[in-house]
Amino acid sequence: MKSTPVPLLDLAAQNHPLAAELRAAFDRVLEHGIFILGGEVTDLESAAAETLGAKHAIGVSSGTDALLLALMALDIGPGDEVICPSFSFFATAGAIARLGATPVFADVCPLCFNLDPESVAQLITPKTKALIPVHLFGQSAPMDPLIAIARDHGLKVIEDAAQAFGAAYHGKALGTIGDFGCFSFFPSKNLGGFGDGGLLTTNDDALADKARILRVHGSKPKYYHSLIGGNFRLDALQAALIGVKLPHHAQYSYARAENAAYYREALAPLAQAAASQCAHCGPAEKPAANARLILPQTLPQNTHIWNQFTLRLPAPKDAAELPRDQLKKHLNARDIGAEIYYPVPFHLQKCFDYLPPAECPVSEMLAREVLSIPIYPELTPDQRDAVVTAVTEFFA
């Protein structure tokens, strides 16, 4: 029997049903000819601000630039330290280093994959200016303890919510809890655009003003520069197209959560877990000591939007071959997409050789154990079953 192919992501399946509306948006922009900022961008900004419950939403050129702009608006630069998790997408750390500030890598929680407040607390020095919690794979970092640390030490908080548009912590939208929230419209994100794009959110009027000025080379009025900014603008065409998808984002997240629930139930027999209490994350499932497969879980305070469904296949430090590499091969051979997010933590990246060594054993463990499988909203029941069958076969 030939198995059903399952790509890691199927953008056409998501965009095709909206083709007529997307073409109409394109035609509208072609007609009015305002290609930079303008009404298309302000319309998307208002809609996104309302959706998230943020006072200000600022359309920017990418999620990476949202991070850069947030750090610039907070005057972070040489001599400053910014703490971020070692386990994330590169942009989180790259933005800090590009401004001449020092990224300081904290370890993460093995249950929710996010910044561990205990690790953060140990890394604070008089030079620490900000924290960047990342809401990795669509689930919130433990914000209450992180905000408490930030308050105690006078630190700014920039949420990297690139993978978490529409996700929430105790019912509050991610990206609206810290000083800034940074989102990405990269096509593979939950609210994916048609090229690069991003969004910066804040509830602070002065910070919003400053970020808007920095977005256009620091000029206000035009050609008068009190600040050195850059070109961080979102294209009008991109805004118009993303505006078509925005009203559907909750439906996409709902479908992803359905897929996650299906996987969790179907794969549960392969992954024995015991109830546990994470010091910061609260009630969780602790993997059995001899577990060969650990399933991702939603912590009770979180609304998870499942940007990724990430398995863990435990492996000792000195493993000759990593079980997750074997599973990846097994799935790929059956035409099933699977990807490693992320294989190398920041503190072991060559470009950060110049920094003092960091202690991040959980990040190192995750880097050798994780494998993400297809979770996109348009997966068909046959495709989900094909994934479950192939994973089950691997562990048989």
Ligand X SMILES: *Cc1c(COP(=O)(O)O)cnc(C)c1O
Residues in 124-143 at the binding interface with ligand X, rule: CB under 6 A: 134
Q: Work out whether 86 is an interface residue with ligand X (CB under 6 A).
A: no
Q: Work out whether 193 is an interface residue with ligand X (CB under 6 A).
A: no
Q: Work out whether 162 is an interface residue with ligand X (CB under 6 A).
A: yes
Site for ligand X (CB under 6 A): which residue of 37, 54, 71, 91? 91
Q: Report which of 163, 107, 146, 200 is spatially closest to residue 304, judged by C-alpha positions.
A: 163
- At 235, phi and psi to the nearest 5? -65, 145
Token pair of 115 as six digits: 């910044």
CB nearer ligand X, residue 133 or residue 374:
133
Site for ligand X (CB under 6 A): which residue of 10, 41, 62, 149? 62
Residue by residue, DSSP assigns 322-358 as: -HHHHHHHHHHHTTB--B-S-SS-GGG-GGGTTSPP-
- At 297, phi and psi to the nearest 5? -135, 160
CA 104/CA 128 separation, integer angstroms: 9
Q: Report which of 188, 177, 83 is spatially closest to residue 128, judged by C-alpha positions.
A: 83
Closest residue to bound ligand X by CB: 63
CB nearer ligand X, residue 160 or residue 235:
160
Q: Work out whether 163 is an interface residue with ligand X (CB under 6 A).
A: yes
CB nearer ligand X, residue 63 or residue 229:
63
Binding mask 168-187 for ligand X (x = CB under 6 A): ----------------x-x-
CB nearer ligand X, residue 70 or residue 124:
70
CB nearer ligand X, residue 89 or residue 394:
89
Site for ligand X (CB under 6 A): which residue of 92, 140, 202, 303? 92
Residues in 196-235 at the binding interface with ligand X, rule: CB under 6 A: 196, 198
CB nearer ligand X, residue 196 or residue 378:
196
CA 282/CA 169 separation, integer angstroms: 13
CB nearer ligand X, residue 117 or residue 138:
138
Q: Work out whether 160 is an interface residue with ligand X (CB under 6 A).
A: yes
- Stretch of 85-93, 103-111, 238-246, 364-372 lying at the interface with ligand X (CB under 6 A): 85-93
* Number of C-beta neighbours around residue 387 at 10 A: 27
Task: Give the pairing of strands 180-184 and 282-287.
Answer: unpaired
Could you tell me how many residues of this chain bind ligand X (CB under 6 A)? 15
What SS3 class is residue 8?
Answer: coil
Q: How many residues does the chain have?
A: 396
CB nearer ligand X, residue 92 or residue 201:
92
Q: Work out whether 331 is an interface residue with ligand X (CB under 6 A).
A: no
CB of 183 to ligand X, least distance (A): 8
CB of 188 to ligand X, least distance (A): 8
- Stretch of 89-97, 165-173, 232-240, 328-336 lying at the interface with ligand X (CB under 6 A): 89-97
Kindly state the DSSP code that residue 57 receives in the 8-state scheme.
E
Q: Work out whether 303 is an interface residue with ligand X (CB under 6 A).
A: no
Residues 6+ apart with CB under 8 A from 100: 77, 78
Q: Report which of 294, 301, 304, 308 is spatially closest to residue 337, judged by C-alpha positions.
A: 308
Site for ligand X (CB under 6 A): which residue of 29, 41, 45, 63? 63
Q: Work out whether 64 is an interface residue with ligand X (CB under 6 A).
A: yes
- Stretch of 57-65, 241-249, 268-276, 362-370 lying at the interface with ligand X (CB under 6 A): 57-65
Residues 6+ apart with CB under 8 A from 26: 237, 240, 241
CB distance 216 to 264 below 8 Å: no
Residue by residue, DSSP assigns 167-233 as: -EETTEETTSSSSEEEEE--TTSSS--SS--EEEEES-HHHHHHHHHHHBTTBSSTT-BSS---B-B
CB nearer ligand X, residue 135 or residue 384:
135
The residues of the shown chain that bind ligand X, judged by CB under 6 A, are: 62-64, 88-89, 91-92, 134, 160, 162-163, 184, 186, 196, 198
